[in-house]
Structures are given as C-alpha cells and as structure tokens.
Amino acid sequence: MSTDVDVAVVGAGIAGLTAAHELRKAGREVHVLEAGNRVGGRMATVRRDGFLIDSGAEQVSGRGYDATWAVLADLGIGAAELPRIGRRIGVWRDGRVRPGLVHPLGLLTGAGLSVRARLDLGDVLRGRHDFDRPEAFGTATVAEFAARYHPDVLDYLCRPVVSGFFGWDPEKSSAGPFLGLLSAIGPSSAWRTYRDGMDTMARALADRLDVSLSFRADEVIGGTRSARIYSGSTEIRARSVVLAVPAPVVRQVYVNPPAHETPFLEASTYVPMVKVHLMLDRRPAAGVYLVVLPAVASRTVSTIVFDHLKHPDRAPRGRGLVTLVAHPSVAARLLDTSDAEVADLLATAAEEFVPGLRSAVVRAVVHRFRDGLPEATPGAVALRAHFAARAGGVVEYAGDWVGVMPCSEAAVRSGRRAAARVLAVSRKEHV
Ligand SMILES: Cc1cc2nc3c(=O)[nH]c(=O)nc-3n(C[C@H](O)[C@H](O)[C@H](O)COP(=O)(O)OP(=O)(O)OC[C@H]3O[C@@H](n4cnc5c(N)ncnc54)[C@H](O)[C@@H]3O)c2cc1C
C-alpha cells in the first residue's frame, strides 16, 4: 500500500466500513486499516463445526435502523436476508419466564410486571424520544427515570434490559439513549437477524473496499492539511483520517486531538461485555428466544439467548446454541479470567434457568469486549451536541460512541456523518 493516501479509515467495524463505503461512492480513494484479522469488529460471526456464533451484536430492527437499511439497499441486501426473528423475549420472575417483554402484548400478559407496573409500562412504551438527540431527555440516569414508576419498572424491565442488552449499570447510564433506542426500534416483533450471520453487512462492504487486515494504528498525529498514522515502522500520510474505533482507543492512539474535542472524548467511556456461547448436542425447550434475568435472580448471567430459535441455521439440525451474557457486576473481572473458568461460571449459573444445560454442552466459546458498549453516562450525553457541532477537521471520528448510543445503527449513522464531514472539509479547501 502507498504510504501517501487520500483517506485512511482506522477500524473495519461497521462504522468505519460505512464511512469508507460512502467516501468511495463520492469518488474518494479510501484505505481501511484494521488491527484484527477479520472485519466487523463487534458485529461479527465465528463459524465453527456448523455453528454460526454471533460474537457481538445479536439482532437489528426492521424499524428505526434507517441508515443500516439504506446501506443494505446499496449493497443489494434485501429483507429476505434478514428474516424477522418472530419469537418473543421474556423476563425471569418467580421461577419462570414471563414472555412479552418490550412488546405491547406485555400489557396484557404482564411480562413479569404487577398490574400497577403494567400501566406504567404503557406510559414508558408510548413515550417518543429522539434517537439522534439523547440529550433532549435530560441527563437523568435509567434508575432516576424509573423511580417515577412502580418499583417493578426498574427491577423487571429497565434494569434487566439495560444490563442484559447494553451491560449498563442503571445507576450510572442515562435514560435518554435507552428511551431513544426503544422509541426507534419499536416492539421486539420488529426485530430481525441476518440469515447468514451478523457479519453479513461488514463482509459485503469489505468486498467492495480496500482493507488492510492486521494493521494496528499505534499513533495518529493530526496536522493542518494531513495526518500521519504510525504502525510499527510504517508511516502513512493521509489527507483525511477517520478514526472509527471506540473512544478509549482514540484516547490511546490520537496524540494531539484539538482541546475542544477532549472533554467529549474523555467522557465517552465504555462498559465491558463478556459472552459464552455453548454448542449443545440437543435443543433445550424454550418458549422465547431470549430471556433477561433480573438482578434478584442472578448477578452472574444477565441474558440467555437461544440462538437456534433466533435463527434455525445458527446450529446444525438437532443441535443447539445457547449464548450467556455475563452480568455487569462480573463482566470486568471476567475479562482476565480463563475461558474455561468463564464458561464454567456462567453455565453453572444458567443451569437454574435452563435445566440440563451443562450436560448438553459439547464445546464452549468465549468472547470478551473490553470496550463493549458506550456507557452513555450523563456527562457524555450532556457533551454530545457541542461535540457534534464542532467544525470539520483532518481527523474525523466514527463509532457508536459518537451518538452515545449502544447499538450498531448508531455506528452506521456515525459512519455516514463522518464521510459527509470529510467531503465538506474537502469542498471548503477547494473554494
Ligand atoms: C456483546 C454485544 C452485543 C451487542 N448487541 C447488539 C445488538 O443486538 N444490536 C445492535 O444493533 N448492536 C449491538 N451491539 C452493539 C454493536 O455491536 C456496536 O454498536 C457496533 O458493532 C459498533 O461498531 P463500531 O464500528 O463503532 O465499532 P467496532 O465494531 O468496535 O469497530 C472498531 C474496529 O476497530 C478496530 N481497531 C481497534 N483498535 C484499532 C487500532 N489501533 N488500529 C486499527 N484498528 C483498530 C477493531 O478491531 C474493530 O474492528 C452489541 C455489542 C456487543 C459488544
């Protein structure tokens, strides 16, 4: 690869690949530099012994994922390749699964909530919140928001959902992004998964782009007309750079960010996520494809996903695939624990909710994310709009953290915005 490039995108996650795709469409020459040996970042799939293991993201929505669907249309990927999951999700309460969580049907079935809390749930689900402006809700944490309602709303809805899906502590993360995402994606009946694995979009984008794998950017130094990227002894000079890595990585590699950008970069913290995927010799019975566990039921496992119910081809015929997500209270510790210990701890804890699980395990695979999801603290939410309004520069950013949103749609939107900002800066230079 030439050491003088037009645009360098650091990171081949879904944000970086989207930015590169948009820039290439606009006629720019783009090189994507990825530290890992595959593309997709936190939206990836591992294929092993006939199992399709979604290592990070599990699903997308037919609603509210407008930028994702727009890029998919560019790639010729239609809805048939993202079938509706078509099964409900549930919450564990008093010894059994209560289906209908995050679904209007929950108002009838209860979805684990008492009658008074069900009325409150209607209020939560009816609310309209802005995905792109999470600060519009204010800086209340999830726990502060839920305190307006019956205690069940925190214990059997908000806490299990934010801990189970985002790895959040509801006392630390903001309600605005949670409510903005809920409003946008609609009920769980709208949720879909990629038929051929969650890496489908990343693979399709990478096929059309110039991507260098196993290229870790150690240092990025911004200048007035170009930026330099260092990796070992290699130096690359680029007219524009898009840093499409989580904010903690930006803080490590970007040597001289402008002073006005640093408060938001520093406020953009992440929570860790740890998952163990259990390949099974059978399919355990389950009425829902995903169960979240309230803290009173388990502080070891937060979510159980029956992947073979999410999509039948995730496991070979007759065999099962179950994913356990570590509870936020143990996730940080498990980042540095051996795979065998993580698998044993989580599978033992899950046995109570899926009897016979351990005896069905043929093999376990562990995935850890030190930067799992944006933590979306009130501090980050409060600084977002100011950061978004900054003037364009040589070094731009993409990633879910830019929108302070814990989902892939935010990453895709940020990629499109980063591309638009790079193009706007170039247009100005030519005037
Ligand atoms: C366990 C889990 C479950 C999730 N579930 C869902 C879900 O169901 N639905 C949903 O919409 N979202 C979900 N998400 C969120 C979603 O996966 C992310 O929001 C999205 O994938 C983030 O994309 P990104 O491009 O911003 O970052 P990343 O995917 O993290 O991409 C960053 C890339 O940069 C690379 N990189 C890092 N450092 C360097 C360096 N120094 N030099 C070069 N490259 C570097 C990384 O290897 C990576 O490929 C989940 C996330 C996790 C962790």
User: Which whole number is the average pLDDT over 199-211?
Assistant: 98
Nearest to 176 by CA among 126, 145, 137, 123: 137
Which stretch of DSSP H or E encloses residue 230?
strand 227-231
As a whole number of angstroms, the distance between CA 341 and CA 133 comes to 41
Position 339 confidence tier, pLDDT thresholds 50, 70, 90: very high
User: Which whole number is the average pLDDT over 373-395?
Assistant: 97
Whole-number Å distance, alpha carbon 245 to ligand 1 midpoint, is 8
Return the residue whose CA atom lies nearest to atom 50 of ligand 1: 57
For 84, the 3-state DSSP assignment is strand
15 lines ligand 1 (CB under 6 A): yes
42 lines ligand 1 (CB under 6 A): yes
- pLDDT tens track for 245-290: 999 999 999 999 999 999 999 999 999 999 999 999 999 989 899 9
Report how far apart the first and last C-alpha atoms of the chain are (Å, whole number): 30
Whole-number Å distance, alpha carbon 39 to ligand 1 midpoint, is 10
As a whole number of angstroms, the distance between CA 257 and CA 249 comes to 13
180 lines ligand 1 (CB under 6 A): no
Residue of 182, 408, 414 to mutate, ligand 1, most atoms within 8 A of C-beta? 408
Nearest to 203 by CA among 178, 237, 195: 195
Is the pLDDT confidence value at 227 over 60? yes
Position 128 confidence tier, pLDDT thresholds 50, 70, 90: confident
197 lines ligand 1 (CB under 6 A): no
Closest ligand 1 atom, residue 18 Cα:
25
- Taking CA atoms, 58 is separated from 166, 195, 214, 224, 303, in Å, by 12, 11, 25, 41, 12
Q: Write out the E strands in 244-330.
A: 270-280, 290-292, 301-306, 320-326
- Taking CA atoms, 198 is separated from 246, 252, 257, 296, in Å, by 19, 28, 33, 31
- Give the contacts of 96 (CB within 8 A, at least 6 positions apart): none
283 lines ligand 1 (CB under 6 A): no
43 lines ligand 1 (CB under 6 A): yes
Closest ligand 1 atom, residue 410 Cα:
19
Please tell me the pTM assigned to this model: 0.96
Closest ligand 1 atom, residue 405 Cα:
19
As a whole number of angstroms, the distance between CA 136 and CA 175 comes to 11
Asked whether 344 and 330 are in contact (CB, 8 A), the reply is no
Is the pLDDT confidence value at 410 over 60? yes
pLDDT of residue 101: 79
List the domain boundaries for the chain.
4-42+199-268+376-430, 89-190
Is the pLDDT confidence value at 200 over 80? yes
- pLDDT tens track for 112-125: 677 777 777 666 66
418 lines ligand 1 (CB under 6 A): no
CATH label, 4-42+199-268+376-430, candidates 3.40.50.970, 3.40.50.300, 3.40.80.10, 3.50.50.60 = 3.50.50.60
Which stretch of DSSP H or E encloses residue 363?
strand 361-374
Asked whether 237 and 394 are in contact (CB, 8 A), the reply is no
Q: Pick the more confident residue, 310 or 128.
A: 310
As a whole number of angstroms, the distance between CA 246 and CA 175 comes to 21
